[in-house]
Copies of this chain bind each other. A is one copy, B any other.
Amino acid sequence: MSRSVAGPEIERLIQLLAKLPGLGPRSARRAALHLINKKDELLVPLAKAMDLAGEKIVICSTCGNVDTSDPCLICTDPRRDGTTIVVVEEVADLWALERATAINARYHVLGGVLSPLDGIGPDDIGIAGLVRRVAEGGISEVIIAVNATVEGQTTAHYITDQIGGGEVRISRLAHGVPVGGELDYLDEGTLAAAIRSRTPF
């Protein structure tokens, strides 16, 4: 297609914006223009916020959450029930459960699910860290809050095999999560209800 429309600085900005989830090439162009037109109100502050995020944000070595301290604020908060771990696929799911104030416990972010077809095995997601946390003791319940997809349920069964058989109660979210649905798209009430009626695995 055609000659280059804008200078290299703008083209580069558009190209990078188009890599954000939710923005295609066309919306990336609109976003770039919006940024340029709102230089002082948006472009400069957003660039600064990204610099700061890049500098300060770390991944919690205990649970996989993102925060500015390691261990993260959730892992160190004494007001949380430290005997319960909620296992989620992604940080977005942790955020969704927190927004729903569904439970006041700790988390474990897998960073993915088992997917043999995509070559993703147990060593590629945070299962070993979860097994270690459970082995260290003090945990009475693990709630497996993965997506209701085939890969999610496969992952849930694998985790149950790894940490089951001891004193630790293993549960999963109640039906209420639509089959095939993803946590991050559910409303807060459904999420809270699904946590309340969690069933033994």
Contacts and interface: CB of A to CB of B under 8 A. Distances in A.
A44 interface: yes
Given A9-B53, A30-B22, A57-B36, A2 B46 contact: no
A37 to B, nearest CB: 8
Q: Is the interface of A mostly helix, strand, loop or mixed?
A: helix
A33 interface: yes
Nearest to A11: B49
B68 A54 contact: no
B42 A6 contact: no
Contacts of A7: 57, 67-68, 73
Interface of A: 1-3, 5-7, 9-10, 12-13, 16-17, 19-23, 26-27, 29-36, 38-39, 42-47, 49-54, 56-57, 66-68, 73, 90-92, 94-95, 98-101, 184-185, 188
A1 B49 contact: no
Given A54-B39, A95-B29, A49 B2 contact: no
Contacts of A91: 33
Given A5-B95, A6-B95, A10-B66, 14 more contacts: A1-B99, A2-B101, A2-B188, A3-B98, A10-B67, A13-B53, A17-B20, A20-B34, A26-B185, A35-B50, A35-B53, A36-B53, A43-B50, A46-B50
